[in-house]
Structure 1
Amino acid sequence: MKDQINHTKEIMWQATVSCDSSYDGIFFYAVRTTGIFCRPSCKSKVPNCENVSFFPNAKDAKNAGYRPCKRCRPDLNIKTYDPLENLVKDTKRLIKNRYAQNLSLHKIASEVGVSRFHLNRIFKDKTGYTPRLYLEKIRVNEAKEILLTTNLNSTEVGYRIGYQSVSSFYNAFKRNTGLSPSQFRAYRNLNNDNQEID
């Protein structure tokens, strides 16, 4: 068992460099130059060895004056933490709460604290959608609801859900439903497509 062996600095350093999650909860490492401590599995940039200290628990690292990393959350009292899962949850929450705003991929990525390339790749790996397509689906679901419950015209609906042009709204709506907004409203009684995206 790893937690029963005497961990030398070299073993802990190798676990840190290789982001070995099997050592999570067994020790934590802190970086003098940043003032932050992490789990061994943290995907942050590998620090210089001479700037690293090791601690048996998060409390000792905090008592030594280090702050918990926001990426790997060593302060949470759980053995493993999947920052990518949380990144996806944060991105979904942001999109659902602010779909009516002018949300670019750059803006979403900067709000959740990663590069847009990293966010695009991770989000697609975890959900099957890019953030832009997910935003589009959320907006179209909202548009369907508005079309069925109000008398707003297509232009008003498009602007209300965040589109900057009528043609963008029309194209997105047709791509997702196979109908134009006015056709959807006219055939609403025949249309049973009430699927929501999670």
Structure 2
Amino acid sequence: MKHTQRNDTLPPWIPEEYWDAIIQNDHTYDGTFFYAVQTTGIFCRPSCKSRAPNSDNVLIFQNTEQALAHKFRPCKRCKPTGERVPDQEWIHGVTEYINKHYAELLTLDVLAAASHGSPYHLHRVFKRITGQTPVQYIQTRRINEAQNLLQHTHLTVTEIARQVGISNPAYFISVFRKHTGVTPSHYRERHDSP
């Protein structure tokens, strides 16, 4: 069940009746308007059963062409264009989401909700398209950023771990060593030497 937001907190660009249609998954508004969520880069029909968005992140479009022109991708769940979203395009959107949010808590459920798919299907398609599981991709993204921070900042290993989304320094060191073959401190020494 989606939670409704107080009407006085709605942004001025969202008509109250449209917001109610989104929150209530009202199929009678399908075709009247489409809504896009800026944080996910996806647009939907009002009847979409995806998690309720934050109204501040919602944009309203009168047709799918407007949403596509603003670089939003159609939802894989409600198929607002009437066509199935190609897997390659869907996974590209998921990797973009990971690249923007890698420092946050990212679970398969979070990624599935953000990309409007099921966790199992997302895991299977992600691995087929990228050759990695979503967790492996997230770890690689985090370690790549950690390498950059080790080379270009004086942050401690613990600070870098937190900055890339790994709150446990010991776990960060273990994952870093697995990916690079060395500890973060040794990596930094190697790249600091003339």
Fold conserved between structures, TM > 0.5: yes
Question: Which residue number corresponds to residue 181 of structure 1?
Answer: 184
- Residue 88 (structure 1) aligned with residue 85 (structure 2): no
Whichever residue aligns with residue 74 of structure 1, its letter is T
Quick one: which of 133, 145, 155 aligns to 1:152? 155
- Residue 115 (structure 1) aligned with residue 115 (structure 2): no
**1:73 Cα shift?**
5.3
Whichever residue aligns with residue 106 of structure 1, its letter is D
Whichever residue aligns with residue 185 of structure 1, its letter is R
Contact 2:75 2:116 in 1 (8 A): no
**1:70 Cα shift?**
3.3
CA distance in 1, matches of 2:161, 2:123: 25
- Residue 106 (structure 1) aligned with residue 106 (structure 2): no
Contact 2:94 2:115 in 1 (8 A): yes
CA distance in 1, matches of 2:131, 2:154: 34
Name the SS for the 2:185 alignment partner. helix
Quick one: which of 70, 83, 86 aligns to 2:75? 70
Contact 1:147 1:181 in 2 (8 A): yes
Contact 1:95 1:135 in 2 (8 A): yes
**1:74 Cα shift?**
3.3
**1:83 Cα shift?**
2.5
CA distance in 2, matches of 1:167, 1:109: 28
Question: Which residue number corresponds to residue 128 of structure 2?
Answer: 125
Whichever residue aligns with residue 154 of structure 1, its letter is V
Gaps of 5+ in 1: 1-33, 38-58, 60-68, 191-198
Q: Deviations over 1:123-177 (max 9, x none)?
A: 0000000011000000000000000001111111000100021122111111110
CA distance in 2, matches of 1:188, 1:105: 34
Contact 1:73 1:81 in 2 (8 A): no
Contact 2:151 2:192 in 1 (8 A): no
Contact 1:143 1:161 in 2 (8 A): yes
- TM-score of the aligned structures, taking structure 2 as reference length: 0.58
Aligned length: 125
Name the SS for the 1:188 alignment partner. helix
Whichever residue aligns with residue 156 of structure 1, its letter is E
Gaps of 5+ in 2: 1-26, 32-63, 65-73
CA distance in 1, matches of 2:102, 2:171: 14
CA distance in 2, matches of 1:70, 1:92: 15
Q: Is the radius of gyration larger for structure 1 or structure 2?
A: 1
CA distance in 1, matches of 2:75, 2:157: 42
Equivalences for 1:131-170 in 2 at 5 Å? Answer: 131-170=134-173
Contact 2:112 2:119 in 1 (8 A): yes
